[in-house]
Structure 1
């Protein structure tokens, strides 16, 4: 049952990510996210990386309270957030933006579709009029060209 809690939280995090990306990162948090939309940003770290810390804080707190109280389920909610954070990092920073030299030559239709949707998101360099705010679940039209 607790593994199911982790899985459900993992899936719900995509919705949290979409809402956060659209209304916070492209809203009042644009001052942190803006450098992420600049082409060829030359630094190892971006101001946008602060959002990893923002998302880590609830996960850490849930691990703590789920370990040191009788509410064990809190630990597994934190685990779902952590697992989503790892998946987000692998897809967004490693696969799409290639901040690390791993998986540069993937031929997987799903990963290619994610990459294409994110390129469409970055096509607009400004705060307004962007699309494709999700990370792991994007509209099917981005997979059509790669589906076998």
Structure 2
């Protein structure tokens, strides 16, 4: 397994367990010639492309998150809906996108963490029993646009 380059290249890390936008990520990464690391706790079938790399980590608690967070850096794009992982990656200087296209930022990550913790407490107390709304075609489209804009912004910033 190759390690992400420590240079100015743009790399994409997908927190792949339950990620609904893997195919969209491959499409955008292929257009820009980006290396993609698909990180999961179990085997995931991938397209046979030299620039898409499967990383299977142990099934230990947060093993995939730890692998990604240890490698996140300026010039990398992390795709996750995991707010604590997003926080770690934002602090490392990475661009972080949720599968619905929502970017996680330094200014908004505190509120996202607080909201996540509140909802977790409410679920544990039985007050909230539903989960997030179903993933939609609009979410998929928003993600594609956000990923494209993020890569273009990184390229303008000297990455690529």
User: Please, what TM-score do these two structures have when normalized by structure 1?
Assistant: 0.25
User: Please, what TM-score do these two structures have when normalized by structure 2?
Assistant: 0.24
Larger Rg: 1
Structure number with the higher helix fraction is 1
Structure number with the higher strand fraction is 2
